Amino acid sequence: MKHHRNLSLTWTLAALALFWAAPAAAHPHIWVDTGIEVIFDAEGRATALRIRWDYDEFYSLLLIEERGLDADHDGTASDAERAALQGFDMQWMEDFAGDTYAASGERPLTLSAPEGWTADYRDGRLTSSHLRRIDPPVTLDHPLRIEVYDPGYYSSYSIAYDPTFTPALPAGCRFDLQRPDPATVDRQLLDLLSRYSPDQDVEADFPAIGREFAEALVLTCG
């Protein structure tokens, strides 16, 4: 995720060291379990998405230590620490698309800036959620596709939770979770990494292949 890239020099150096020991370890650096809630209005139009991110334990620990939180090392935030965490991952750069993309059929949809965010730290993992409005709301006369991925593949997103629908998925609609074939995308990544030499700047030159690893929620009606 672009807004985190400079937070830990230690982690970056460690990842680059792993790259030369095992090329496939160069990317990603962060793993995020993702949840998606689709919100509908009274007319059955999709009006917003609530996105949940649960960060991997190592990355969570880095951010917690950088912020001087969890002094008792119990893996859980106190009320004061929880308050200090609010919005920790919401300071997005202007060109950051939020690693969430939506389309109605082939037509890309516009998602608002994040709002209504939450954050917590429990069981050794940072978690957050945020709301993104679909502008304008969209009917489901075409499949609604919601993809989660980082174009630069710095972060790896996995839809780890069953999607939820508020107030409910409209009658006659169904959902599917689509995931790439791991063997195929791993071969693609290994092929790309094999073209690098030790004197290249892996981070600066790494191709935007993240969409090849995208997981998607697809809603189809009728």
Helix H or strand E segment including 136: strand 125-138
Whole-Å CA distances, 81 to 87, 121, 202: 12, 9, 35
Residues 6+ apart with CB under 8 A from 117: 86, 87, 90, 128, 129, 130, 131
Q: Contact at 8 Å (CB) between 132 and 112?
A: yes
pLDDT (tens digit, 9 = 90+) per residue, 82-117?
Answer: 999 999 999 999 889 999 999 999 999 999 999 999
- What is the value of pTM for the model shown? 0.84
Q: Please state whether beta strands 46-55 and 100-104 pair in parallel, antiparallel, or not at all (unpaired).
A: unpaired
pLDDT at 123 over 70: yes
Q: Is residue 26 very low, low, confident or very high in pLDDT (cuts 50, 70, 90)?
A: low
* Domain spans, the chain: 2-221
Q: Is residue 141 very low, low, confident or very high in pLDDT (cuts 50, 70, 90)?
A: very high
